[in-house]
Amino acid sequence: MRILVTGGAGYIGSVIVARLLTRGHEVVVYDDLSRGHRAAVPAGADIVRGDVRDESRLREALAGAGAVVHMAALAEVGESVRQPERYLDVNVNGTAAVIAAARAAGVDRLVFSSTAAVYGEPERVPIDEDDPLSPANPYGATKLAAERRLERARDAGTLAFTALRYFNACGADGDQGEDHDPESHLIPLALRAARDDTALRVFGDDYPTADGTCVRDYVHVADLAEAHIAALEALPAVQGAFNLGTGSGDSVRQVLDTVEAVTALPLRREQAGRRAGDPPALVASNRRAKERIGWRPRRTLEDAVSDAWTWMRSHPLGYATD
């Protein structure tokens, strides 16, 4: 099948592209390269540079395609608070453009990159898909609004879709790794701090968790990619929203201890106060994904840290070294 991957030059998108190629699919990457990296796109994929809001260019890129994996979005929580209108434009209007272009091109299957941020601060953990949807920031709100747009297209009979709600993506997969500017994710920040012998700030040590630090559900990027393929292959028979997480959480302190164990380097830690809006724990129930699309995460936190460390050592300046 010919598959269009919007945002396919990004961190998770590039891993999905690589895995689709190994399964024999023809892949077209659609990306404006504002935050993705051309060097992250695996050999064998075509690249179309374009804005996700450009319906006409999307329609051209979709020629001959059988499905879309829609990854293109702005995805920084703090930035979304500062620039909510921009996030609304790119994430929601961009999704509307993808829907319209797919309809015009006769493409009726789509897998959507969503987020656990649609739940906001949970009433309980683990979180399942029937829990209240109450985003606590503009990023989560725009992803939920995009899901609603897709639901309307599905209800109109024009599109079969699945939304995959990621928890904390991490790790690396072969030549594809994590290279953001600025970086906001804990594992690469901790690996850099250990490598460079700098202090890492730890926000909060008085949460109601086992060791006082926040707990998150860290899911390996390769497992995420496999979930997209499973969801794509299950369409149109199986649709809906699915959490992607391991079903168990690790605290910030556990992550940092794992970084020290994997790198065999000391990690200096600088204690800071809590950040506003950080829930004590975010952990997924992945039961529905297991039952309906046959997906199970197979990799551990140690695997993720080890793979990320291997990639970082081979790309000391990120993709700029390629």
Q: How far apart are CA 265 and CA 243, in angstroms?
A: 34
Q: Encoding tokens for residue 116?
A: 């656990």
Q: How far apart are CA 188 and CA 180, in angstroms?
A: 9
Based on the residue annotation, tell me whether 139 is a catalytic residue of this protein: yes
Does an H or E element contain 165, and which?
A: strand 160-166
Strands 200-203 and 269-272: parallel
> Exposed, middle or buried, 142 (CB in 10 Å: 0-12/13-18/19+)?
buried
Q: If we measure between CA atoms, which residue out of 158, 140, 23 comes closest to residue 100?
A: 158
Residue 156 CA, distance from chain mean position: 27
How many Cβ atoms sit within 10 Å of the Cβ of residue 15? 30
Choice among 139, 166, 207, 218 that is catalytic: 139
Q: Is 21 helix (H, G, I), strand (E, B) or coil?
A: helix
**114, 224 Cβ separation under 8 angstroms:** no
Describe the strand order of the beta sheet including 281-282 as a list of residue ranges: 250-251, 215-216, 281-282
Q: How far apart are CA 69 and CA 29, in angstroms?
A: 10
Q: If we measure between CA atoms, which residue out of 69, 128, 116 comes closest to residue 288?
A: 128
Q: How far apart are CA 311 and CA 194, in angstroms?
A: 15
Q: How far apart are CA 118 and CA 90, in angstroms?
A: 17
Question: Catalytic site residues?
Answer: 139
